[in-house]
Amino acid sequence: MVTSAGRIVDEPGNGLVEVFALPTDQDTLLRLLEKVFEHWQIVQFGPIIQGAAYEIKAPSAPRITVLDGYATLNFGQWHMHICIGPTIGDPSHPTAPEVAAIRPCQRAELYRLIRDDAPVSWGLRLYNGAEEQLLTVLLPNPFLDDDGMPCEPNWERLALWDDLREQFLNIAPDSFDRSGQHFVHG
């Protein structure tokens, strides 16, 4: 199996996953969230942990702001906060230093899930300092249509993946991403 710049890990429940480490400074993470959610119509997101997978579709483009290290993604009727930088809390209720050390994203990665020696799923994951998942973004999958049903491969659906790798990792599109034949569920 030939890949570029990634690290292959065998994750319990996921199997082989190739991860591409991203910088975790606040400015980069904010640019990353802005770029990903420019494509709010075609991504799904939420935490994916053992025993639960949230595959949320945004109702609209979010308004993204930052306060005290937290990026707020406001979708209108609801919003979410993701800690992407230093946080001190409110002056009248400061965040304890040991808690403030854990909250920000300290691991960010693009990933591709590998089955039968080929990628079958692509995404972005953010983790805090306790290695708890903050967010997974499921990127468009060439083996699934807009309704999540299996379809003939549509390699154009890898455009966002290719763009993120190029913009944030300086890695060109990879033929390995186009080597699979069909979706294989985890």
Tokens of 98: 């040991």
Q: Which CATH class is domain 7-178?
A: alpha beta
| Model confidence pLDDT, tens digit, residues 37-94 | 999 999 999 999 999 999 999 999 999 999 999 999 999 999 999 999 999 999 999 9
- Mean pLDDT (whole number) for 106-125: 97
| Residue in 138, 127, 142 with CA at minimum distance from that of residue 178 | 142
Q: Is 0.85 surpassed by the pTM of this model?
A: yes
Contacts of 176 (CB under 8 A, 6+ apart): 1, 2, 3, 4, 118, 119
Please determine, for residue 186, whether its predicted confidence score (pLDDT) is greater than 70.
no
Amino acid present at 179: S
